[in-house]
Amino acid sequence: MKIRSIAFVFFSLAAAALYAAESPAVGSAAPDFSVPDVNGETHSLSQYKGKYVVLEWFNPECPFVKKHYGSGNMQKLQGEYTGKGVVWLTVDSSAPGAEGNLSPEQAQKVMKDWKTKQTALLLDPDGKAGRTYNARNTPHMFVINPEGKVIYEGAIDSKATPNPNDISSSTNYVKVALDESMSGKPVSNANTRPYGCSIKYK
């Protein structure tokens, strides 16, 4: 009985430690990071202060990511909002040897083949940026306002499935957050549960 109690305490503490790491809270300052893109150019979040920034965690092998890219939904969003001056940073935090990890050359090919329209695809194989944001899934989305505050964190949309047929009937939380904030309104649904494939960290 005593051993069982000790084991229970141990696993409770382990679970508490696991869930202690949280994503930056909505309304808080977005943590800075510096990560190279597919061309070796370093991007720091702080360099984009004064602009809206979308962070999108990415794994090209994930069915949930393929749902949004295979349908053209993600590229459409990227194109629409980068066209309005939004900085869109796609981040791959998959560890070397793990599903989704890309070399710069592989990443360039994915961007070309998928006709992506983000500002930059960042390669974060050591997981520093991902862990800073406690990014858990692909896609896990964050929207940051020009003051550098997180105004949205969570899922891309309201239907947590890999089926592209669900896109047209779902609410795109990222689009709504950007549209509301850019028109001077508070974000009506600023925090949702992200869905997708788990990120394979180093």
**Tokens 């997981």 found at:** 127
pLDDT score for 62: 98
Give the percent of the chain with pLDDT over 70.
Answer: 90
Is residue 106 assigned to a domain?
A: yes
Number of Cβ within 10 Å of residue 63's Cβ equals 14
Q: What is the pLDDT of residues 18-47, one digit of tens each?
A: 333 699 999 999 999 999 999 999 999 999
- Span 160-166, average pLDDT: 98
- Evaluated on CA atoms 134, 139, 145, 148, the torsion sign reads positive
Average pLDDT, the chain: 92
Predicted confidence (pLDDT) at residue 2 exceeds the cutoff of 50: no
Predicted confidence (pLDDT) at residue 149 exceeds the cutoff of 50: yes
Is residue 14 assigned to a domain?
A: no
Computed over its alpha carbons, how large is the radius of gyration of the chain? Answer: 18
Is residue 7 assigned to a domain?
A: no
pLDDT score for 18: 36
Is residue 58 assigned to a domain?
A: yes
Is residue 35 assigned to a domain?
A: yes
pLDDT score for 15: 35
> How does DSSP assign the chain, residue by residue?
-HHHHHHHHHHHHHHHHHHH--PPPTTSBPPP-EEEBTTS-EEEGGGGTTS-EEEEE--TT-HHHHHHHHTTHHHHHHHHHHTTT-EEEEEE-PPTTSTT---HHHHHHHHHHHT---SEEEE-TT-HHHHHTT--EES-EEEE-TTSBEEEEE-SBS--SS-GGGGGGS-BHHHHHHHHHHTTPPPSS-B----SEEP---
Is residue 138 assigned to a domain?
A: yes
Predicted confidence (pLDDT) at residue 52 exceeds the cutoff of 80: yes
- Span 132-140, average pLDDT: 98
Q: Residue 54 — very low, low, confident or very high, per pLDDT cuts 50/70/90?
A: very high
Please tell me the total count of domains within the chain.
Answer: 1
pLDDT score for 21: 62
Give the CATH number of the domain where residue 36 resides: 3.40.30.10
Predicted confidence (pLDDT) at residue 122 exceeds the cutoff of 80: yes
Predicted confidence (pLDDT) at residue 134 exceeds the cutoff of 60: yes
The larger pLDDT score, comparing residue 142 to residue 12, is at: 142
Give the CA count within 13 Å in the CB-facing half-sphere of 178.
Answer: 25
Range of the domain at 58: 23-198
Predicted confidence (pLDDT) at residue 12 exceeds the cutoff of 50: no
Is residue 4 assigned to a domain?
A: no
Q: Residue 70 — very low, low, confident or very high, per pLDDT cuts 50/70/90?
A: very high
Is residue 109 assigned to a domain?
A: yes
